[in-house]
């Protein structure tokens, strides 16, 4: 190749880069939405969730504004079985595997699309056997020959108006969205596991409490029957006690069914079948209520919750698609080139006199398309507006979730204190009624009412304890789970 030809080839290769440097990307440049200018989640400063009682799980919870929640927030419950179950579920859950695979898919889509920013180079080799008739040249006879061709073809579409760059920007936003969706999957799975474990512990406590009440009522029935044999009470009193005992026993099968269903749900979350799950059992006494609760400030929440960040990534992608639709309104310039060799014998390929080459440029400009391109641009702009509205709704929902969890923890503390006091009163009332009934000082109806009240208050205390645990999980989930504080496993 001569020096002049090499210079021309170099200029042809450099030209796209030079044009790219001076070109611009049409369409809007994305700007992250500003965080809401508020300093609290509720309409008043939230107090701490305090319970003035030494009863189990009745400690005062302290809200630490501006604190960062650790990624493994479930460790705060100090339950080794729960820790093991969640770690195993994060490895084996199909929902996690699906989210991870989706992330890899969009990452590879982005990698594939990046190839558009480089020239497309392809090689070609052809061998063709032909018969040539001399009649076309006014000569008799025919000749048969073999034609060999080898060439390298190069084409490059200039991104003069940034359509490709905007498409890459949209794909990168999709990668960001898939990553945040993966974090949301982690958060949802761990929160579901913790909440289900708490519900299981609550049910076990309710079953145990109901069985204790059943035994108490059975003992009371023995007393009533003995007094009936002595003529101290009527037959209706015996039947009433038997009915009460039967009603208490009837409570147990639904509770046991719910417990089985929760165990099956835990196995599902863990990515196992129920019969092979080998899951740990959970008791309220095996859990420790977290007393120090870090609460992100509102301006940080929008940069921490996976669903908000996912919605922001979708907004970014919609903004980039407006740029893509805008770039489609402008001409597209394509440069092509090829160099190769044609010969009638394989040994003649790549000889100086067999070299062939070509250069070309093409311009494709929309002239008339029935308004399709403008409609596409307007549709992209409408999609951006919809994504912006969805983002605002996601932020509002997130703030409402945190506010709900904060208020729930405050009312849970008050409810537990009230239920504990009610249980103390019901226990004292039942003990007094039992003594008085045994000596004939009160009617059987008084004893029966005290039994029912004791059962109700003991179950209510268990439920109030579980509510504090469950709403603590809800707060951790509403705050985003602390995934940003540590590297993803």
- 66: its two tokens: 């501006």
Sheet-wide strand order for 120-133: 120-133, 142-158, 332-343, 355-364
* Span 369-384, average pLDDT: 93
CA distance 20 to 28: 19
pLDDT tens digits, one per residue of 99-142: 999 999 999 999 999 988 888 889 888 888 877 766 666 666 67
Candidates 336, 371, 399, 395; CA nearest to 154 is 336
Q: Which residue in this structure is represented by tokens 């490895």?
A: 91
The predicted structure's pLDDT at residue 50: 57
Chain-wide mean pLDDT for the chain? 86
Q: Which residue in this structure is represented by tokens 């048969």?
A: 144
Angstrom distances, CA of residue 366 to CA of 5, 11, 360, 372:
35, 29, 20, 10
Residue 444: pLDDT over 80: no
> Residue 373 — pLDDT band, cuts 50, 70, 90?
very high
Three-state SS for 342-356 is: EECCHHHCCCHHHEE
C-beta neighbour count of 66 within 10 angstroms? 9
CA distance 253 to 235: 28
C-beta neighbour count of 317 within 10 angstroms? 22
> Residue 46 — pLDDT band, cuts 50, 70, 90?
low
The predicted structure's pLDDT at residue 4: 42
- 93: its two tokens: 């859950």
Q: Supply the DSSP string of 144-204, one letter for each residue.
A: EEEEEEEEEEEEEEE-TTSHHHHHHHHHHHHHHHHHHHHHHHHHHHHHHHHHHHHHHHHHH
Instruction: Return the bridge partners of 205, or none.
Output: none
pLDDT tens digits, one per residue of 293-320: 999 999 999 999 999 999 999 999 999 9
* Span 387-401, average pLDDT: 96
Could you tell me whether strands 332-343 and 292-295 are parallel, antiparallel, or unpaired per DSSP bridges?
unpaired
Candidates 181, 204, 180, 197; CA nearest to 269 is 197
Do 279 and 259 meet the contact criterion of CB atoms below 8 Å apart?
Answer: no
- 193: its two tokens: 């596991």
- Ordered structural domains, the chain, with CATH: 21-120+160-330+372-485 (1.20.1600.10)
Candidates 158, 167, 148; CA nearest to 316 is 167
CA distance 354 to 349: 6
């Amino acid at each position: 190749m001569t020096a002049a030809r090499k210079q021309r080839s170099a200029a042809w290769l450099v030209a796209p880069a030079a044009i790219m440097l001076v070109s611009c990307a049409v369409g809007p440049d994305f700007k992250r939405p500003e965080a809401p200018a508020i300093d609290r989640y509720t309409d008043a400063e939230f107090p701490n969730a305090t319970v003035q009682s030494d009863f189990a799980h009745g400690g005062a919870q302290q809200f630490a504004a501006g604190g960062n929640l650790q990624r493994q927030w479930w460790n705060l419950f100090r339950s080794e079985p729960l820790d093991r179950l969640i770690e195993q579920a994060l490895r084996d859950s199909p929902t996690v595997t699906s989210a991870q695979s989706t992330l890899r898919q969009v990452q590879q889509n982005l990698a594939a699309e990046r190839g558009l920013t480089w020239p497309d180079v392809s090689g070609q080799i052809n061998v063709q056997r032909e018969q040539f008739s001399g009649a076309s040249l006014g000569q008799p006879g025919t000749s048969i020959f073999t034609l060999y061709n080898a060439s390298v073809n190069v084409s490059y579409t200039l991104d003069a108006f940034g359509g490709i760059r905007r498409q890459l920007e949209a794909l990168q936003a999709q990668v960001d969205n898939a990553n945040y969706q993966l974090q949301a999957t982690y958060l949802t799975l761990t929160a579901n596991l913790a909440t289900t474990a708490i519900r299981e512990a609550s049910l076990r406590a309710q079953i145990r409490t109901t069985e204790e009440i059943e035994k108490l009522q059975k003992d009371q029935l023995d007393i009533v029957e003995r007094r009936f044999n002595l003529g101290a009470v009527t037959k209706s009193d015996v039947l009433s006690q038997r009915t009460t005992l039967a009603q208490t026993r009837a409570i147990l099968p639904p509770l046991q069914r719910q417990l089985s269903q929760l165990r099956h749900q835990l196995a599902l979350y863990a990515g196992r079948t129920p019969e092979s799950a080998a899951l740990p059992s959970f008791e309220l006494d095996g859990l420790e209520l977290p007393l120090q609760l870090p609460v992100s400030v509102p301006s940080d929440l929008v940069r921490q919750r996976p669903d908000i960040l996912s919605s922001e990534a979708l907004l970014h992608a919609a903004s980039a698609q407006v740029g893509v639709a805008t770039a489609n309104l402008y001409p597209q310039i394509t440069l092509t080139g090829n160099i190769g060799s044609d010969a009638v014998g394989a040994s003649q390929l790549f000889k100086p006199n067999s070299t062939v080459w070509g250069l070309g440029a093409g311009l494709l400009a929309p002239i008339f398309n029935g308004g399709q391109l403008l409609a596409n641009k307007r549709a992209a702009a409408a999609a951006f507006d919809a994504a912006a509205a969805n983002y605002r709704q996601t932020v509002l929902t997130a703030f409402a979730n945190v506010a709900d969890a904060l208020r729930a923890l405050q009312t849970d503390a008050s409810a537990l204190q009230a239920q504990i006091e009610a249980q103390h009163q019901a226990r004292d009332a039942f003990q007094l009624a039992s003594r008085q009934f045994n000596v004939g000082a009160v009617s059987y109806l008084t004893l029966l009412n005290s039994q029912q009240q004791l059962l109700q208050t003991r179950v209510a205390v268990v439920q109030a304890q579980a509510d504090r645990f469950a709403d603590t999980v809800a707060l951790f989930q509403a705050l985003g789970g602390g995934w940003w504080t540590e590297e993803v496993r």
